[in-house]
Structure 1
């Protein structure tokens, strides 16, 4: 049976699954066939083509991925793209940069009713580069349920940052420089406020709007962080140390 599956996959350039039919409802990508007096379902889905990789690549992740539904939504949003199912992701491949930003996951969520994360892997023409960037995204995925400050749209800069944080977190000598005991005793809402302030370019107004906080409440929280950790987040150096420390803290909880 496995040889037959491999033959069909090679001929159709689709991912093939074959299993016995037991009167279940069929999906759009499934067909019923009879073979050796038995009835089977053949399921065919588009799969990622590894040959001649080229173009701009976006990965979409949903916890309960429904490929057909998500594919329909994405095709309604964008033209001249190729879509593939690959492991736990949907891959979008385009010759040009797509109009995807921080608002796009929300648009898709309104159609699919599922939390959506999108990562831009950049323009790639080498499979090794694709696999390396994908591996970084694989490392980030477990953080999604912990680090609520993580944007649902990740750029190459985000992947670079999180890879650096991952490497730092594994370096014991660096960890000895961080007062993790104090961080563990701080309310996580306060930590997330500090992270959001940094990600909003140390801008009080932008952070207040993004967190739906009164300006005075935000200022109070920033002062509280300074009191507890001795870090003034309005200072670049202090905010840099805070950011690396808190992100490393979240990573260590995995």
Structure 2
């Protein structure tokens, strides 16, 4: 297959994408051809630079990525998209918001058998913002990304904001010294996770009780215990924010 791609590129003097045809719509720079009794799409790649594109951007990350295979899957899933490499990352660009969500990595993994991460960079019209958001993802150690439970396989801008915040707490010494980590170290991990779960359930007693399979009185007791030890009332927004970022930093950067 690679020899065929090289042959076509040599004859046309243009770079191409070559992927299986699955009855998807065909754009003006694509053609359907038959090879070994199978239909394929030849797409002539337009010259793409990050200086002249805008819209919605997504990073698709796999360890030891088979790039052509992943590109083919994405071209089959989505119409009228641009794919390009930037800092060794596969970037998908679209003029409109795509139906990419928490289920999309599972779809791709079922085809590639590789753990897949999608980073939704949002809608961008400024090249400097694009570069900044990509750089934040690149700062994340890939073993942290893969082996830590902080990130799910679909990563939003909010996830990146929280990551940068908890990273800063751990690695900025003056800021770190503002926090009573000695008291936190004495606390049971289940108590800390209860506080996190309470905040992630909109500080709602009923939702958190159901999520943790706890009696509401047990939950209230644990919240009171957190307040007693850390002097943080998780029903208060500012206290909850401090607790959430601090404990996330403590758990993920021990």
Partner of 2:213: 214
> How do 1:26-41 residues align onto structure 2 when only pairs under 5 Å count?
none
CA drift of 1:145 comes to 4.2
Contact 1:222 1:233 in 2 (8 A): yes
Q: 2 CA distance for matches of 1:180 and 1:246? A: 9
CA drift of 1:112 comes to 2.8
Summarize the Cα distance change of 1:94–1:244 in structure 2 as closer, same or farther, 3 Å threshold. Answer: same
Partner of 1:249: 250
Q: Does 1:120 align with 2:120?
A: yes
CA RMSD of aligned residues (A): 3.5
Q: 2 CA distance for matches of 1:204 and 1:146? A: 31
Q: 2 CA distance for matches of 1:229 and 1:165? A: 18
CA drift of 1:60 comes to 1.6
Deviations 1:68-120 (A, max 9, x none): 33223322322111122444532110000111222322333333333322212
Q: 2 CA distance for matches of 1:227 and 1:48? A: 58
SS in 2 for 1:215: coil
Q: Does 1:53 align with 2:53?
A: yes
CA drift of 1:136 comes to 1.0
Partner of 2:30: none
| Greater shift in the superposed pair: 181-190 or 158-167 | 181-190
TM-score, with structure 2 as normaliser: 0.66
Summarize the Cα distance change of 1:247–1:90 in structure 2 as closer, same or farther, 3 Å threshold. Answer: same
Partner of 2:238: 237
Summarize the Cα distance change of 1:72–1:53 in structure 2 as closer, same or farther, 3 Å threshold. Answer: same
Partner of 1:3: none
Partner of 1:106: 106
Q: Where does structure 1 lack aligned partners over 5 or more consecutive residues?
A: 1-7, 15-44
Q: Where does structure 2 lack aligned partners over 5 or more consecutive residues?
A: 1-9, 17-44
TM-score, with structure 1 as normaliser: 0.66
Summarize the Cα distance change of 1:98–1:238 in structure 2 as closer, same or farther, 3 Å threshold. Answer: same
SS in 1 for 2:79: coil
Partner of 1:160: 161
